């Protein structure tokens, strides 16, 4: 087909870029594997672009180097190691022991069980970083116990969903690892486009440090709400009857102290600069294995189960990464990135208007896409424009993680709600789960608002580290 004139070619390439993204959104709803959907849609529109003369096929020659670069990315090697660490703590029963131990420590207090669930959820979030695994584990372990002891189903289910989504914001987590890698590349691109040929870098460790304080403040807000609710309406969260036998010291050491020390060791080594996220993740994987061994929960069958789960999740992440690489390459080749940059730069309100629109779009996409697809597909498209307009990369990354966490908690499509619905008993209807998460959604929104008006909450600690 004869190439169209330059102006028509420019308009046609923009139309193809918009259609490409719209087609992807529709195709993802079909249930076809995400990685293959990304790749097939991208290659299909690359062929269309070449047919109309608005896409240079030479760009596809860069694809092998990009794929090999992604597979050899040392930062992304932290993904399977952190997954292994979380799976080992979950499958070895350490997470269950942790919940039981903390529940016995706080059970005699009003609302003690929901406080225990929130604290354990925060600790599991820092060790697993996977929303589905945390919500399912907490739902299976703690929901029957709370219902059996007279806790309000709405309060119990809302607490479990909120605690499970903390894995989005509390480091170390998969979201922050992937965000750190993508924002680091986008930040360098933005600086190069601005004429800075000695660009500054943003690391995963910077994002971990930036997310730590907002994550802890959010946990504090959750706990304050739970304690206030238990004090105001004690019938919703009654204390447990006292047990005659004291808590064994060995159980306290293995179930509570050991996982806490492991998380502090992993996170502290990253924040102090003693280890890279990948090195710290390796330490975490070995430490989780040693804890399971000391607890007498390690067997060949369990190790095989942990390894199988780790390989499955890691392969999914890397396949989506390859598909996203193909998609972004073709999208940029069609001029989509320049178009998005132009649109965002010309929105009312400048950087703030563009930021709010981008965050709202990601909030809506969180209803239908998992965080991996959003981070690997959407962030590389919008982040360079926002960073070029002056957004701080660490602040932007923490905001994105917080907005995705809110999306996964919001009815009717929040992923955390679906995970809990799958393991909740029949006497807890779906509407009860929806009503239970409303107070936590309001707290999430308040936290996003605090971050918008007070960026230093995310940028202060990374600045101190530097």
Please give, one letter per residue, the 3-state secondary structure of 40-64. HHHHHHHHHHHHCCCCCHHHHHHHH
pLDDT of residue 250: 67
Least confident of 45-54, 121-130, 376-385, 451-460: 121-130
In total, the chain counts a number of residues equal to 466
pLDDT confidence bin for 247, thresholds 50/70/90: low
Output b/e per residue, 325-354; b: 16+ Cβ within 10 A.
Answer: bbbbbbbbbbbbbebbbeebeebeeebeeb
Looking at per-residue confidence, does 245 or 346 come out higher?
346
- Percentage with pLDDT > 70 across the chain: 91
- CA gap 76, 79 in Å, rounded: 6
Question: Which residues have CB under 8 Å from 132's CB, separation 6+?
Answer: 415, 419
Q: What is the pLDDT of residues 49-89, one digit of tens each?
A: 888 888 888 888 878 887 787 777 777 788 888 888 878 87
Mean per-residue pLDDT, 372-391: 85
pLDDT of residue 439: 93
- CA gap 184, 214 in Å, rounded: 20
pLDDT of residue 402: 92
Question: Whole-model pTM?
Answer: 0.84
Question: Which residues have CB under 8 Å from 360's CB, separation 6+?
Answer: none
């Amino acid at each position: 087909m004869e190439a169209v004139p330059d102006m028509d070619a420019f308009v046609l390439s923009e139309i193809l870029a918009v259609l490409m993204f719209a087609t992807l959104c529709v195709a993802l709803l079909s249930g076809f594997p995400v990685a293959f959907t990304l790749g097939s849609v991208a290659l299909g529109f690359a062929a269309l672009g070449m047919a109309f003369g608005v896409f240079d096929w030479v760009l596809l020659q860069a694809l092998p180097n990009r794929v090999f670069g992604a597979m050899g990315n040392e930062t992304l090697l932290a993904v399977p190691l952190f997954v292994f660490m979380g799976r080992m703590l979950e499958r070895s029963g350490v997470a269950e022991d942790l919940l039981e131990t903390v529940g016995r420590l706080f059970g005699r207090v009003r609302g003690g069980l929901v406080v225990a669930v929130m604290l354990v959820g925060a600790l599991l979030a820092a060790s697993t970083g996977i929303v589905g695994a945390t919500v399912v584990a907490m739902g299976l372990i703690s929901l029957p116990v709370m219902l059996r002891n007279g806790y309000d189903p709405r309060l119990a289910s809302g607490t479990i969903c909120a605690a499970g989504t903390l894995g989005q914001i509390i480091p170390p987590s998969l979201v922050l690892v992937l965000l750190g890698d993508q924002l680091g590349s986008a930040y360098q691109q933005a600086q190069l486009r601005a004429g800075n040929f000695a660009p500054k870098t943003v690391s995963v460790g910077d994002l971990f440090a930036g997310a730590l304080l907002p994550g802890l403040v959010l946990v504090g807000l959750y706990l304050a709400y739970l304690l206030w609710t238990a004090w105001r309406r004690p019938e919703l969260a009654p204390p447990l009857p006292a047990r005659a036998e004291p808590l064994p010291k060995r159980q306290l050491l293995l179930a509570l102290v050991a996982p806490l020390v492991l998380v502090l060791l992993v996170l502290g080594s990253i924040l102090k600069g003693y280890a890279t996220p990948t090195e710290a993740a390796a330490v975490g994987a070995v430490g989780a294995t040693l804890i399971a061994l000391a607890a007498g929960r390690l067997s060949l069958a369990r190790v095989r189960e942990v390894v199988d789960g780790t390989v499955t999740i890691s392969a999914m992440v890397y396949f989506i990464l390859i598909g996203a690489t193909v998609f972004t390459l073709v999208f940029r080749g069609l001029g989509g990135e320049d178009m998005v940059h132009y649109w965002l730069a010309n929105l009312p309100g400048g950087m703030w208007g563009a930021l709010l629109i981008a965050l709202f779009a990601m909030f809506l996409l969180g209803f239908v896409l998992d965080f991996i697809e959003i981070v690997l597909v959407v962030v590389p498209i919008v982040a360079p424009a926002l960073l070029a307009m002056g957004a701080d990369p660490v602040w932007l990354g923490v905001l994105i993680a917080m907005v995705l966490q809110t999306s996964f908690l919001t009815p009717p499509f929040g992923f955390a709600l679906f995970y809990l619905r799958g393991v909740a008993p029949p006497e807890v209807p779906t509407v009860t789960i929806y009503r239970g998460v409303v107070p936590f959604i309001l707290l999430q929104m308040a936290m996003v608002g605090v971050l918008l008006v007070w960026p230093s909450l995310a940028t202060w600690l990374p600045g101190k580290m530097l």
